[in-house]
Every structure is written in C-alpha cells, then in structure tokens.
C-alpha cells in the first residue's frame, strides 16, 4: 500500500504496462511528488539503487486529465488495474489489492485535481474589461459610438470620438481595445511569429469546452494582439519552433 515518506511524498510499488496494449507489466517503485508536480517511477526504491540512478519514467501532474479504475473490457485479465489519462496517452497500472488500488486512484486524482471556483458575482476578467472599455469619470458619460474592425482575425471594437476620429488616437498610452473571439477565423500559421510581439503572460489555466462543458487544463499565451491556448507547454514551444497551428481563443 502507498505510504508517505519524510518529504511528504506518496510512495509505493506498482506494476506498469511497458507499452500500451502490450500486456506486459513491470514492477516499479512510484513516487507522487506534488511539490515537484510530477509522478516518478524507478526500477526500485531509490534508497536501494546506486548513487545517481535516476527515474525510468516521469509524468507531469498537469498533463493528467483523469485517473479511473480500468474496466473489464480494457484489461480483462488484470485485476486491481487502473488507468491514467494524460494528453493523448494512457498509462495502465496494477495495484497489489483493492485497498491499494483505491488509495492510489484517490491520491492521483487529488494531486491532479482541477478546481473551478463557483460563480458568485462578476469574474475578475469581466471587471478588468469593463475598466478598460471606459475610464472612470465623475460626471455622467455620454454615449460612445464604436467602430468594429477585424484585425488579424480578431474583432476589435474601437471608440469613435465626436470629431469622427478613432478613439485610440486621443487615448492615453497603454490603453487597449477590447478583444473578442472571432467565430469564423481559422489560423493559417502559428499564434505569433518568433519575431512578433513579446509575451505579456503565459501559464496554465482551466478552460470549459464549447460543446462538452467539462473543464480541461490548458497552457495559455497572451501577447498584445492575441490569446492562444495549447494542450501543454511543450506544444506551445513546438508551435513557436515550426509555426504549427494552435487553437485561437
């Protein structure tokens, strides 16, 4: 059964399928390290291995979408088996007994859990967009007309001043127009070229699907013109290297 070591990591032996659908399981020593955000497995307990012996496998917890008990159809001859779904790959592991199986599934699901805050008011992003759309004023503001343009596949709403000019020309430096999703835009190249604008922020967020309303962890990249998301950080780096087609949000 798994136990917690002195570094607050969950450890124990499991059998892992060498290759998916190969049916060959190998005994390995697993360490679930939530601080390092990864699941590692070794040939044996690292204390029994030679100095400098590294892990034979690793999986980032941010890549895990679900951990569940394997169905009899998936592994009919492998009792106490569970499966880790990570990106487009599945890892089948076999526990020692039913309690061992339950403990590992619960620990892995808890470590890779995606927490979505419940709605209780306006999201921060909505408040930020409102503040960007119109600067605060003490007096009642007159109605403002907007010019709608499609720039680089993104719908941009620009305030129009009373003299007919664009509101951006007389606006303060650093102000941004509101960017909305373009439903008809299909990117023909990467999110941005390597010589394009620098990143403002990048990192993992959770995103709700458009058709299936489930939440998935995705890697987002924001620059001055677009916000793109990828399955993982590695896919983002690859898209910058070979200009692969990302998803545009």
Using the predicted structure, report yes or no on whether residue 146 has a pLDDT greater than 70.
no
The confidence score (pLDDT) of residue 104 equals 95
pLDDT at 184: 36
In this prediction, residue 113 carries a pLDDT of: 79
- Per-residue pLDDT band at 165 (split at 50, 70, 90): very low
Which domain covers residue 14, as residue numbers?
Answer: 3-112
In a domain, 236, yes or no: yes
Q: Average pLDDT in the 168-175 region?
A: 41
Q: What is the mean pLDDT of residues 223-234?
A: 82
Among 66, 83, 112, which residue terminates a domain? 112
Residues 6 or more apart in contact with residue 110 via CB below 8 angstroms: none
Average pLDDT, the chain: 75
The pTM of this model reads 0.53
Q: Of 93, 112, 131, which closes a domain?
A: 112
Read off the pLDDT of each residue in 5-26 and give the average, rounded to a whole number. 92
* Per-residue model confidence as pLDDT tens digits over 184-225: 333 444 445 455 678 888 888 888 877 777 777 888 888 888
Q: How confident is the model at residue 139 (pLDDT cuts 50, 70, 90)?
A: low
The count of domains in the chain is 2
- The whole-number average pLDDT for the span 223-242 is 80
Q: Tell me if 181 is assigned to some domain.
A: no
Q: Please indicate, yes or no, if residue 104 is contained in any of the structural domains.
A: yes
Structure confidence at residue 182 (pLDDT): 37
**Residue pLDDT, tens place only, 78-128:** 999 999 998 778 999 999 999 999 999 999 999 987 666 665 554 545 554
Tell me, yes or no, whether 165 lies in a domain. no
* pLDDT of 179 higher than 50: no
- 38 lies in a domain? yes
Residue 175 has pLDDT above 60, yes or no: no
Q: Predicted confidence band at 183 (pLDDT cuts at 50, 70, 90)?
A: very low
Query: What is the per-residue pLDDT for 105?
Result: 94
| Domain-ending residue, one of 112, 127, 149 | 112
Confirm whether 150 is domain-assigned. Answer: no
Residue 207 lies in a domain: yes
Would you state the pLDDT for residue 157? 66
- pLDDT for position 177: 42
pLDDT category at 153 given cuts 50, 70, 90 is low
pLDDT tops 90 at residue 227: no
Q: pLDDT tier at 31 (50, 70, 90 boundaries)? A: very high
> What CATH number is associated with residue 207?
2.30.29.30
């Amino acid at each position: 059964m798994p136990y917690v070591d002195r570094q607050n990591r969950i450890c124990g032996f499991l059998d892992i399928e060498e290759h998916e659908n190969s049916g060959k399981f190998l005994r390995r020593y697993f360490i679930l390290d939530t601080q390092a955000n990864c699941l590692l497995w070794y040939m044996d307990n690292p204390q029994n291995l030679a100095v400098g012996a590294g892990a034979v496998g690793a999986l980032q917890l941010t890549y895990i979408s679900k951990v569940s008990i394997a169905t009899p159809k998936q592994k009919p001859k492998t009792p106490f088996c569970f499966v880790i779904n990570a990106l487009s790959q599945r890892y089948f592991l076999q526990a020692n007994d039913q309690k061992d199986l339950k403990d590992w599934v619960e620990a892995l699901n808890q470590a890779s859990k995606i927490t979505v805050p419940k709605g209780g008011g306006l999201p921060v992003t909505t408040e930020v967009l409102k503040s960007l759309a119109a600067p605060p004023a003490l007096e009642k503001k007159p109605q403002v007309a907007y010019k709608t343009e499609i720039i680089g596949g993104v719908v941009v709403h620009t305030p129009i001043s009373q003299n007919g000019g664009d509101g951006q020309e007389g606006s303060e430096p650093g102000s941004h127009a509101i960017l909305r999703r373009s439903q008809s835009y299909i990117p023909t190249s990467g999110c941005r070229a390597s010589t394009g604008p620098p990143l403002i922020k990048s990192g993992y967020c959770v995103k709700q699907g458009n058709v299936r309303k489930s939440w998935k962890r995705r890697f987002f990249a924001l620059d001055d013109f677009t916000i793109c998301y990828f399955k993982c950080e590695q896919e983002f780096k690859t898209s910058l290297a070979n200009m692969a087609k990302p998803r545009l949000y």
